[in-house]
Structures are given as C-alpha cells and as structure tokens.
Amino acid sequence: MRVASKRAKRIHAASAEIGIRRETTVTELWASRGDIAATKGDFIRFFKRGLHADLLLSKLMDMIPSIFGRVDWPEAEAASILAMLKAMTPKDVGIKRDDKGVRFEDPPA
C-alpha cells in the first residue's frame, strides 16, 4: 500500500509541475504576441525547462495544442508559429550530440 502511495504522490507532483510549466509558457507567450523572435525564445525556454525536469519531448509536444488554445493567436500568426515549431531542431533547445554523447548545452532560463 505504501508503494502505491509513493507512486501516486510522484504522479501527482509531476502533473502539477507540467501544469506550472504550461501556465508559465502561456503567460510568456501572451506577453510576446506579435513578435516571432520572442515567441521562439519562449518555446525554447519551455522545451529546455521541461527536458531539464526529465519530461519526455513527446509529453512536451502533447502540451502544444493546449498552449495554442490558451494563447489564441490570430490564424495567420498561429500558422507562422506552427511552421517555426516544426522547423526547430534539438540543437535549438540546447541538446548537443558529440563524442561525449548527448547532453544539454546550457541550463534552462
């Protein structure tokens, strides 16, 4: 019974952390509406924070539709932001692959 309780607490804490990251990102994105460079920076920080918290990239990507829904960009702006996200590479979010393996280049902002 105790093991299940510890597992449930970890799951609850991880879910709360994901919600906090999403809300922080939504707030940042609202502040940078209309500025594609600032928006890209906001998404880079979102991915870096999530990856440094050991969240899988797929879990972070699953959050993108709800982030888009919350920010509610005009259609043309949303299309350009989606294209920008599709063009991002692992290097953009600070993932470096070299002879030492795969690692983060810098800590999240």
Q: Closest Cα to residue 81, out of 26, 37, 22, 25?
A: 37
Question: What pTM does this model have?
Answer: 0.75
**How does pLDDT run across 22-60, given as a tens digit for each residue?**
788 899 999 999 999 999 999 998 888 888 777 888 888
95: pLDDT strictly greater than 60: yes
pLDDT band at 1 (very low <50, low <70, confident <90, very high): very low
Query: What b/e sequence results for 42-77 when a residue is b if at least 16 CB atoms lie within 10 Å of its CB, and e otherwise?
Result: bbbbbbbbbbeeebeeeebeebbeebbeebebeeee
**Average pLDDT for 74-78:** 93
Going from the C-alpha of 40 to that of each of 1, 3, 89, 98, the distances in angstroms are 45, 41, 12, 25
The pLDDT score that the predictor gives to residue 103 is 73
- Lookup: tokens for 28: 């940042």
- Lookup: tokens for 45: 């920080």
